[in-house]
């Protein structure tokens, strides 16, 4: 199955990082469209357009990290989905746990953003995942099912990323058995919620994916790729994760 490896740069990176990063991807022979691995880079908003030009010949795609639910208006500091598309983004991460925590985004907010993204022709990557306390309480699958039920509107088409909050940026990951169990639960929920498309919706794993653990995670059933934070900032690490995906 085609694997999708998306790099979430979060609030990191500078204009001067773009050229060397894009050169590393190009010289490694970034897989072209239709290849078994698709690479997506999600930098901060201001870098999108320059990154788009730099990645033109690489086969990699570009994504944003958030969008507003409205196409325009009096929303100081926000960015609309149509403008992201115009800047060169094909994808947009929505409902990341850092957005939910830092900006109080609710499932309903995320669903509205998904509609806006789809309306602008962007492919949403919708994040879900439990806190450590919720996992310890045995509530992880229930929490994730609830997030999916309320963050994905009926017209949803795109990707889902399972990111346990306690694994993000901590160097800790769930056991492979726990990842497989959660991805199976997410698949079942997607099939029930979207009978026509749920079986084919890619489900990425995210949370401390590194070159050293990528092969094991990406080989698990129902893991369709990875959403990579810290390790995506280094082109060599990101490419090593992509290579693990190619081998899976």
User: Site size for ligand PGA, by CB under 6 A?
Assistant: 13
Quick check: is 163 catalytic? Answer: yes
- 43 contacts ligand PGA (rule: CB under 6 A): no
User: Residue 87 or residue 128: which is nearer to ligand PGA going by CB?
Assistant: 128
- 8 contacts ligand PGA (rule: CB under 6 A): yes
User: Residue 51 or residue 162: which is nearer to ligand PGA going by CB?
Assistant: 162
Contacting residue, 37, 152, 159, 168, with ligand PGA by CB under 6 A: 168
- 163 contacts ligand PGA (rule: CB under 6 A): yes
The rounded distance, in Å, linking the Cα atoms of 202 and 188 is 13
User: Residue 8 or residue 248: which is nearer to ligand PGA going by CB?
Assistant: 8
Quick check: is 146 catalytic? Answer: no
Q: What are phi and psi of 88, to 5 degrees?
A: 115, 0
Planar angle of CA 229, 42, 185, nearest 5 degrees: 60
Q: Which residues contact 137 (CB under 8 A, 6 or more apart)?
A: none
Take residue 139 and report the two structure tokens written for it: 């509530």
**Per-residue burial over 184-195, b = 16 or more CB atoms within 10 Å of its CB, e = otherwise:** ebbbebbeebbe
Site map (CB under 6 A) of ligand PGA, residues 53-82, x = contact: ------------------------------
For ligand PGA, which stretch binds (CB under 6 A), given 142-150, 182-190, 207-215, 217-225? Answer: 207-215
The rounded distance, in Å, linking the Cα atoms of 11 and 64 is 11
3-state secondary structure of 222: coil
Look at residues 248, 187, 226 and name the one whose alpha carbon lies nearest to residue 93: 226
User: Residue 194 or residue 238: which is nearer to ligand PGA going by CB?
Assistant: 238
- 248 contacts ligand PGA (rule: CB under 6 A): no
Take residue 95 and report the two structure tokens written for it: 């409902």
Q: Could you list the residues that contact ligand PGA (CB under 6 A)? A: 8, 163, 168-169, 206-209, 227-231
Active site residues: 96, 163
């Amino acid at each position: 199955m085609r694997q999708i490896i998306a790099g979430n740069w979060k609030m990191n990176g500078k204009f001067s990082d773009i050229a060397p990063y894009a050169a590393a991807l190009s010289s490694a022979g970034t897989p072209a469209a239709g290849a078994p691995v698709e690479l997506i880079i999600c930098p901060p908003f201001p870098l999108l357009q320059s990154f788009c030009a730099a990645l033109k010949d690489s086969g990699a795609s570009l994504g944003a990290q958030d969008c507003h639910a409205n196409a325009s208006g009096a929303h100081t500091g926000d960015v609309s989905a149509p403008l992201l598309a115009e800047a060169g983004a094909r994808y947009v991460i929505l409902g990341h746990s850092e957005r939910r925590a830092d900006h109080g985004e609710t499932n309903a907010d995320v669903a509205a953003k998904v509609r806006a993204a789809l309306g602008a022709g962007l492919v949403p990557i919708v994040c879900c995942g439990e806190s450590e306390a919720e996992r310890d309480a045995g509530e992880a699958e229930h929490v994730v099912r609830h997030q999916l039920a309320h963050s994905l509107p009926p017209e949803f088409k795109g990707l889902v990323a399972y990111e346990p909050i306690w694994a993000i940026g901590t160097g800790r990951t769930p056991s492979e058995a726990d990842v497989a169990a959660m991805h199976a639960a997410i698949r079942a929920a997607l099939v029930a919620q979207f009978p026509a498309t749920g079986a084919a919706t890619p489900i990425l794993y995210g949370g401390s994916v590194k070159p050293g653990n990528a092969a094991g995670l990406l080989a698990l059933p129902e893991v369709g790729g990875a959403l990579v934070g810290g390790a995506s900032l280094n082109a060599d690490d990101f490419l090593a994760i992509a290579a693990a995906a190619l081998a899976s």
